[in-house]
Amino acid sequence: MKIRINYDKVKFRIRDSGKIKTFLIKVIRKENKIPGDLVFIFTGDRDILRINREFLGHNYYTDVITFNYSKEEVINGEIYIGIETVKRNAGLFKVPQTEEVLRVMIHGLLHLLGYNDGTEEERKIMTVTQEDLIKVYREEKNGL
């Protein structure tokens, strides 16, 4: 089991990566799954748009794209994060950039865990779950 964080032609670097990785492993185990190999790739708008067009047929920027390679209970995948879009969204939603980064990392992981956001009902469940997890992370980080 290994969680890696890679940076593809971006200056951005994540803070507290060790704490975040530990937290994500706990999230996987809480869902009664086994942590496998996960790679988070932070990239720019140009590359996230190329990936979105090539693999999903979408012609727009996005903050996160998840490729699921899980087998049975073992969670494996690649999660591409469009850091420029994340930064814009942080400003739009008036949240700290570090929180928005964590939000999209959790969002991508939830997709690997079987959550979807294709319908309004699924989106609601996924949003509540990710916001609850952000709150738990914040409390753990602050020692509450």
Q: Which fold has domain 2-141?
A: Collagenase (Catalytic Domain) (3.40.390)
Amino acid at the residue 39:
V
Closest CA to 109 of 12, 36, 6, 15: 36
Q: What is the pLDDT of residues 58-108, one digit of tens each?
A: 999 999 999 999 999 999 999 999 999 999 999 999 999 999 999 999 999
* pLDDT, tens digit (0-9, with 9 covering 90-100), for 109-143: 999 999 999 999 999 999 999 999 999 999 988 87
Following DSSP, what letter does each residue of 10-45 receive, concatenated?
Answer: -----SSHHHHHHHHHHHHHHTT-EEEEEEEEEE-H
The mean pLDDT of the chain is 95
Radius of gyration of the chain (CA): 14
- Each residue's pLDDT tens digit, 24-68: 999 999 999 999 999 999 999 999 999 999 999 999 999 999 999
